Structure 1
């Protein structure tokens, strides 16, 4: 660590700005925002340093810059000469402002552009409401010390409320409700944190298709309860020391029954841990999220659902297939390939109606029966279809053709990855995108 990071209180204090130009103007804006009184000069003289807290310079003659640097360092006044680390005693970092939360990123003056790029990445995962959470804690600081004088108890309490309902309300800008929830928790003088479960959609598998909120919550989680369809690339983005519990299911293999998963989420939340229930796709589209929130609500556990990109959207986008089209499909129907009892239970008459796109999840084992039932209900066997394996991931594969051709070929074509069927006239409106690894069923 070349520089020691610290935050300087400049409220009402004088700062010298020597020189001019856009770089110095940018620093002036930051310093003014921090409450500093700005003292500007085009040339340096020692009396300018009387009473100043720090000095910045840019765009002045070389001799002036060197004189300022030497005088400041002799007097112990922090000085920064833009893009001149050798003349500076401090570096202005790239700043993320979530007042009163401030994040500063520096590269010891070696690569300011890199610091800005890092700032963009970090800023993307920090909630815009983070400062409101800090302000909530600040408002209750005095009352909290009185109610919980023990430091350890106070820390445990804050870990709970700052990851629980009061913080969530503050983050959403619901200040009055947040203060009421914080006050209620404080009145109970809880010394054990209150559990909160986030049901998070991990998307189709590609790590860069995660939502920003999903990424942030994964970085905060103590434990991640994940499905088989959550890719290793996505799990690698989670907090490094978070416990990972695999409760994944595969065709014909359910090693952890849903009832046990429900009980596990309740148990983990009651232990005070920050729980992320990470599901492939979206939690509420064939992800059993509804069953899990029912169990959490019955147990009195707070929860939040974070949507994800579901398989049909990702598969269609990567394959270049429009799910809707003004001349071909004005509705989209999501269908589960199997019911809870493991059998095919769909309304074939409704699905046989024209003018829609049908997305059949978990359809690999039931495709022949689905084809027979739909054709018997009046569907055209020549309807364009796409059978997609590992959709939305770098390993996506396509089998394209008519409904009859795809139904006949899919059994010998599909591997062990999750597969989805898209069916409808819209499937014939756009060719597969380059690199989609499409296979056309033989005619």
Structure 2
């Protein structure tokens, strides 16, 4: 992973945007949509305590000079069309408020990121944000019904999986949320599951194997299991190479055997 994807909350905060014209205006709009205060003067922005800056001058030398000044002051900088000068890049954004999907290529090709976004636009229902907001409103209810984080995650995973009652790619799932909250199903639950790989390619995982990896609280794996497979697990799941004699957590434990 060449870049660390983050969602940065900047509402009400100063963000420096330098430059005029076709390159600078999209950055100003992007910053304003996120609720930040655009500052068009470098020194004023530094005085205000800005932590992010976009540099979009037509003149390349001016871009380099301002980028250097900002970096010396500890500000993270994006220079339009100059990825070698960037501390961060701006992704192509698909918005179903409050759901945001950011597609980036680490500066390799903005055009590729845009085309991927356009493809995904047709897949994500317009009411996906309604489902997200409904789940947010139901957090207290979900915590009371499933006090344990693992069992709560299992129930949500089962509901949100492909074909589940809250399948996020089903445009009607938001309408089923209230019924599901009244009568929720169960997830894979606790316990141990084991499967053997047929290949080192993560695309060859079955849907159930992918779901188990994505839900597991702990993953046990043989030495031959590649990182590409292990990276399909949750980032916060415990990982232990076999043989492992330590204490296992409660919840869902998945054991992966290497391909022959």
**Above 0.5 in TM-score?**
yes
The list of structure 1 runs, each at least 4 consecutive aligned residues, that deviate by more than 4 angstroms after superposition, is 166-170
Cα distance in 1 for partners of 2:10, 2:125 equals 26
- 1:48 aligned partner: 45
Pair 1:12 & 2:12 matched: yes
Aligned length in residues? 191
- 1:165 aligned partner: 165
Larger radius of gyration: 1
Question: What is the CA distance between 1:170 and its match in structure 2?
Answer: 8.7
Alignment check: 8 A CA contact 1:10 1:53 kept: no
Cα distance in 1 for partners of 2:92, 2:108 equals 13
Alignment check: 8 A CA contact 2:98 2:133 kept: yes
Alignment check: 8 A CA contact 1:17 1:39 kept: yes
Distance 1:182-1:12 versus aligned 2 partners, 3 A rule: farther
- 1:277 aligned partner: none
- 2:218 aligned partner: none
Question: What is the CA distance between 1:14 and its match in structure 2?
Answer: 0.9
TM-score w.r.t. structure 1 length?
0.39
Question: What is the CA distance between 1:148 and its match in structure 2?
Answer: 0.8
Question: What is the CA distance between 1:25 and its match in structure 2?
Answer: 1.0
Question: What is the CA distance between 1:77 and its match in structure 2?
Answer: 1.5
Residue 52 of structure 1: SS of its match in structure 2?
coil
Cα distance in 2 for partners of 1:83, 1:59 equals 10
Residue 101 of structure 2: SS of its match in structure 1?
strand
Cα distance in 2 for partners of 1:161, 1:61 equals 53
Alignment check: 8 A CA contact 1:93 1:106 kept: yes
- 2:128 aligned partner: 130
Pair 1:242 & 2:187 matched: no
Which structure's relative contact order is higher, taking Cα pairs within 8 Å and 6+ residues apart? 2
Question: What is the CA distance between 1:79 and its match in structure 2?
Answer: 0.9
Matches within 5 A, 1:358-369: none
Question: What is the CA distance between 1:8 and its match in structure 2?
Answer: 0.6
Cα distance in 2 for partners of 1:83, 1:146 equals 49
Cα distance in 2 for partners of 1:2, 1:25 equals 27
Distance 1:57-1:172 versus aligned 2 partners, 3 A rule: same
Pair 1:121 & 2:85 matched: no
Listed one character per residue, the Cα deviations across residues 81-119 of structure 1 (whole Å, up to 9, x for unaligned) are: 100112211111111112222111122222211221222
- 1:270 aligned partner: none
Alignment check: 8 A CA contact 1:130 1:171 kept: yes
Cα distance in 1 for partners of 2:141, 2:22 equals 46
Cα distance in 1 for partners of 2:80, 2:74 equals 19
Pair 1:61 & 2:25 matched: no
Question: What is the CA distance between 1:60 and its match in structure 2?
Answer: 4.6
Cα distance in 1 for partners of 2:169, 2:205 equals 27
- 1:275 aligned partner: none
- Cα RMSD, aligned residues only: 2.7
Distance 1:87-1:123 versus aligned 2 partners, 3 A rule: same
TM-score w.r.t. structure 2 length?
0.64
Alignment check: 8 A CA contact 2:23 2:80 kept: yes
Unaligned runs of 5+ in 2: 189-202, 209-260
Distance 1:70-1:15 versus aligned 2 partners, 3 A rule: same
Residue 17 of structure 1: SS of its match in structure 2?
strand
